[in-house]
């Protein structure tokens, strides 16, 4: 929980667009020092220029969050310039879908590398620095926010690799919360679980490195991309609104951050199904037309 952000340091991955960019804007407004991290040089440069124009002290780094060595260098750079960060937003993410048996090794490596390993590296590298700062100063406060998804709480079909990555982030974040509570009251944790919000993740293939490029997309993957893009583009909650919710959660120490609380019915149904020992409930029970559309498209594709 951080009540006063002024003069504090924020590390934001995926800072060139979406939630990362909007959180950087709020952090700048609140007088924070910014560490902006992204794999897109142009977007990173634009975010850094905007923050500097607002009067912020900025450290911008082009980093692939899936790369352990790059993240370790980032942590060293942050500590050398600013000391331990107060707010760490492990936010970088990519999207991919398709029938789960059709995802290639390259798909799994890319999605898990960014969505899960990016969070793993952020937690393993920055948490010890934050705990060290907390031990040295009883007044020091810090907070870590990891970006998961509603896909980390439910399991919509035809997007398995993404679901797996986000379920892992939820599990990691809940464990981090409990682990921190065992050793300190000065460093907290939250998990962000957005639903369909226009952020640019629907076009994340633009950032796939050549080494992670697989075979041509299958029919199910093309269907997933089209349906996801339509849902994301029609989202009525903005990335800026979600960023405000993130800062509110950090300020009050709230763990779960939901962009669409009204979507929790699917989570409730899933948990009730687990407790009852039954089969997984219909993920389209509240919107059956979507299930019919997906089933028809997949069967027509053969």
The average confidence (pLDDT) of the chain is 93
Q: What is the pLDDT of residues 31-84, one digit of tens each?
A: 999 999 999 999 999 999 999 999 999 999 999 999 999 999 999 999 999 999
Q: How confident is the model over 135-151, as pLDDT tens digits? A: 999 999 999 999 999 99
In a domain, 1, yes or no: no
Q: Which string of DSSP letters, residue by residue, matches 206-245?
A: GG--GGG--SSPPHHHHHHHHHHHHHHHT--S-HHHHHHH
| 170 is a domain residue | yes
Q: Which of 162, 177, 195, 256 is catalytic?
A: 162
CATH code, domain with 176: 3.40.50.720
Q: Which domain holds residue 113?
A: 9-301
The pLDDT value recorded for residue 88 is: 98
Listed in sequence order, the residues at least 6 apart from 292 whose beta carbon sits closer than 8 Å to its beta carbon are: 284
Q: What pairs with residue 38 in β-bridges?
A: 62
Whether 147 is covered by a domain: the verdict is: yes
Whether 212 is covered by a domain: the verdict is yes
In a domain, 4, yes or no: no
Whether residue 235 is predicted with pLDDT greater than 80 in this model: the reply is no
How confident is the model at residue 168, as a pLDDT?
98
Instruction: Name the 3-class secondary structure at 96.
Output: coil
Residue 88 domain-assigned (yes or no): yes
Is 162 among the residues known to form the active site? yes
In a domain, 20, yes or no: yes
Domains identified in the chain, total number:
1
Q: What pLDDT band is residue 228 in, cutting at 50, 70 and 90? A: confident
Whether 49 is covered by a domain: the verdict is yes
């Amino acid at each position: 929980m951080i009540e006063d952000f002024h003069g504090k340091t924020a590390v934001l991955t995926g800072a060139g667009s979406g939630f990362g960019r909007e959180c950087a804007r709020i952090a700048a407004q609140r007088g924070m020092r910014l560490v902006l991290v992204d794999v897109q040089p142009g977007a990173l440069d634009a975010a850094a220029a905007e923050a500097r124009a607002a009067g912020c002290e900025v450290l911008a780094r082009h980093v692939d969050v899936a790369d352990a060595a790059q993240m370790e260098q980032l942590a060293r750079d942050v500590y050398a310039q600013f000391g331990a960060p107060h707010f760490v937003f492990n936010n970088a993410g990519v999207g991919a879908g398709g029938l789960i048996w059709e995802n290639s090794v390259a798909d799994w490596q890319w999605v898990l590398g960014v969505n899960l390993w990016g969070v793993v590296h952020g937690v393993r590298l920055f948490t010890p620095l934050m705990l060290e700062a907390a031990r040295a100063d009883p007044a020091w406060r810090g907070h870590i926010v990891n970006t998961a998804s509603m896909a980390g709480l439910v399991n919509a079909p035809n997007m398995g690799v993404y679901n797996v990555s986000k379920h892992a982030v939820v599990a990691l974040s809940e464990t981090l919360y409990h682990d921190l509570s065992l050793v300190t009251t000065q460093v907290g944790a939250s998990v962000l679980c957005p639903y369909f919000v226009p952020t640019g993740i629907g076009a994340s293939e633009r950032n796939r490195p050549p080494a992670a490029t697989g075979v041509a997309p299958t029919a199910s993957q093309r269907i997933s991309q089209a349906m996801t893009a339509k849902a994301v583009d029609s989202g009525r909650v903005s990335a800026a609104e979600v960023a405000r919710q993130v800062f509110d959660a950090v300020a009050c120490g709230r763990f779960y951050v939901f962009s669409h609380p009204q979507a929790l019915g699917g989570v409730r149904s899933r948990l009730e199904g687990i407790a009852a020992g039954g089969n997984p409930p219909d993920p389209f029970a509240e919107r059956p037309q979507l299930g019919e559309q997906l089933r028809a498209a997949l069967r027509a594709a053969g």
